Every structure is written in structure tokens, then in C-alpha cells.
A and B are shown apart, each in its own frame.
Chain A
């Protein structure tokens, strides 16, 4: 699906954490983000959505200040209403859980 260029990473998370099949996982992500199936698979649409909502990007320029990595995963976990292990362990290690 293109990973962080679209929503491939998010769809993948639903397969892992909730064992969702591909169509169900895509629908779930689309519903949670308030987008269509076509939009969540589109690189141009999702580049803008990801930048605006802080879901992490595959490119750094021209948006160096945009979220990436752990900060993006915090936002993804909240938007999709899932627990991401690296986020939970980060909170524990940072003493904010």
C-alpha cells in the first residue's frame, strides 16, 4: 500500500492488533479518519492529511517540523483507538504512564 505515503502502516496495525482482514482493516481506517477508501489509498491525498494531522511522513522536506516516528505513533494510536506497544512502553519509560 505504500506505508506512510498512504495509510499502509495504519492498515497493517489493524491486521496486527485486531487481526482484521484487509478489506475490514481498510474500512476501519477510513471510518476512523473520516475518509473514503479511495482517499486512504491515494498518495497525494494522504501526504496532506498525514502532514496536517501529524501521522508521520516518509519525507522531511519541506516539512521538517512535521511529526515523525514516536510522536506520530502517539497520534496514530489516538486516531485509530488502538494501543501501540512502542507508545505504551515509551510512556512507561518516560514516566508519563
Chain B
């Protein structure tokens, strides 16, 4: 009689069937990878057993007890319906849909060109849309975009492109370009923060902080610090990009801590120091590995992050991160299992 196999998926969404032994092997391997890279404690046997039980649970959708439900934040949430689904409705309407139809706990107003450099140029218009939505909605509503330091490089921006300078061996020039871009980015973020604060934004989100490397993360931290000082009534949400800060500069520090190479459990401490209210943590999904491998790895990192943090931690459970497959239509079977693991094992504050 052949051994029982369980339905699951690869990190790219492909369906696979695995035996219990294979699932356990992958879970341990994923966990060990996180322990090795992050220098963090492993999960307990009990926690691994819980992950196994969730991965192998029958049903297309799994859930948690209502009393254990957590809250949700989003990134470019109000833009998804018009942009991704091609339904041409205004962003204040999509905010209402998120509130009244989808039951979201919060939502952001974001521009389709989702970065602060663009948003700065149209900040008052963005604030106008936000104000319309704030009048109509009850749920917390904030403005979100990415620092995305890469947009400040020529020809799109004023500084030299360090991604071209570095391979040419022009290290000094590349580092100086990144440092200059940080200042431009902080100014733009602060300008947008002012406009959105003045119309009543419940928060501002600095999404995918670190996407362009350590200088990008520094821009987010510096901007957060300035926003919380200037507008104490407007909380800041800092969301991560990749699972560690890419060292494009290598020497940048915040509060005496070098930024390059930091994993989520270290990044959250700096976000806290900068004054952030919520930290959106990310662990990359490895498309060549299975869901059991990925989710065990994610839980190991997330647990360490939640334990290290004094502020709420929301796991970013979107396409390609936190064990969610890299595909446009994410399958509910994997998403709900990932959510359940993150809530019950890692004690996340939100998703």
C-alpha cells in the first residue's frame, strides 16, 4: 500500500504531493536555513508539530478561532481593484469597498505609481483624494508609498546611478550618490506627510523600505523620525522589502547600527527607535522550495521578530513573501495556512 501523500504547493504555486516524512524533512531544512542565516533560535518540536498539523489539515481554507483573529494593514490596497482588476473606480470608492464589502480593518490610499518621488509632485491631489475617503469611511485610512531610492537616479532623478557606478569600480562616487539620494527622499516623504497629515490621515506608510538597499532603509528611518517629531498625532508604518537589507552602500548606520545585512528581528528594533507604530515584516518565499520548507522558515524568522519587538508586527503575506507563492492569483489553501501558522505559532499582531 503506498504511503499517504498530502496536497501542498511549491513556492511558485505549483501543486505537489508530499509524504509526512518529506514534509517534516522540508520543515526542518527551512527552519535550519533561517536559524543559520538569522542567527536566531529554532522553533520547538511542539511548534513544528503545529506547523505540520496546519500544512496537512484537510480543507481548501483553514481558519483561527474568532477570538484569535488579528488586524490587517495593506499596501496599495485601494489601488488594487482599479489597477489589478481593471475595474475603473475611484480610490475613495475602493476604500469604502475594503471597509464595507471586504471587512478590512484598515486600508491605504496609494498612487498607481507607488513611490514618494512621484507622490511629492502631486501631493495635494493625493491628499484631496484621501480627504474625500476619510469623510466617508470609519476604518483607519492612511497614505502609503515606497521610498524607492532608485527613482532618484539619472535619468529619472538628480543623482548618479550607483547601480552603474559600482560595477565600474567607482565606489566613492556610488556611495556619495546613495547618501545624496537619502536626503532627497526624506524631503519628499516629509512633504507628502505634511499634506496628508493636514487632511487627517490616520497614518503614513513607508512601504518596502530597503528595496534599493541600505540607503533606502536609512531614508525610511530618518523620515519616520522626522514625521513622528513633527506630527506626533500621525503614526508611521514601516514595511520591509526583502528579508535582509541589501548592502548597496555597506557603511550606513542608524543609531550606531550598520544597516546592511540586517534581518527582520534586527530591523524592527531600528524601526522602533525611529518611532514607527507598526512594523511590516517580510521573509522571502523561495520559489524552488515547498510550502512546508518556506512556512517553517518564515515562522522561525517571524517568531524571533515578534519576540524582539516592542511594537506591533504585521507579517507581509503577499505574493512572493512569507511563504505565499509567487503568482498573481494566490491560492487560498496556502494563504490561509500561512496566516494560521503566523497567528498561532508566531503570535503576530497583524497581517
Contact = CB atoms under 8 A, between A and B. Distances in A.
A and B touch in the complex (CB under 8 A): yes
Interface of A: 1-6, 8-9, 11-13, 15-17, 19-22, 25, 37-38, 41-42, 55-56, 58-59, 68-70, 72-73, 76, 83-90
Contacts of B253: none
Interface string B224-259: 000000000111010000000000000000000000
Contact of A16 (B72, B100, B134, B202): B202
The 5 closest A-B pairs by CB, nearest first: A86-B200, A56-B138, A8-B105, A89-B200, A58-B100
A15 B202 contact: no
B277 interface: yes
12 contacts: A9-B139, A11-B71, A12-B350, A16-B278, A25-B349, A69-B136, A70-B136, A83-B233, A85-B202, A86-B201, A88-B200, A89-B198
B203 interface: yes
B1 to A, nearest CB: 44
Contact of A22 (B140, B197, B349): B349
Interface residues of B, number: 42
Contacts of B69: 1-2, 6, 8, 41
A15 B67 contact: no
Contact of B312 (A9, A15, A83, A86): A15
A14 B349 CA distance: 12
A59 B140 CA distance: 17
B277 A17 contact: yes
A2 B101 CA distance: 10
A70 to B, nearest CB: 5
A86 B138 contact: no
Nearest to A87: B200
A90 B343 CA distance: 36
Contacts of B72: 1, 8, 12
B80 to A, nearest CB: 16
Nearest to A69: B136
A87 B134 CA distance: 9
A69 B233 contact: no
Contact of B234 (A11, A22, A85): A85
Interface in B183-199: 197-199
Contacts of A55: 138
Nearest to B278: A15
Contacts of A22: 70-71, 312, 347-350
A19 B197 contact: no
Given A2-B103, A21-B312, A42 B138 contact: no
Contacts of A89: 197-200
Interface string B245-284: 0000000000000000000000000000000011000000
Interface in B307-351: 310-312, 347-350
Contact of B105 (A9, A17, A83, A84): A9
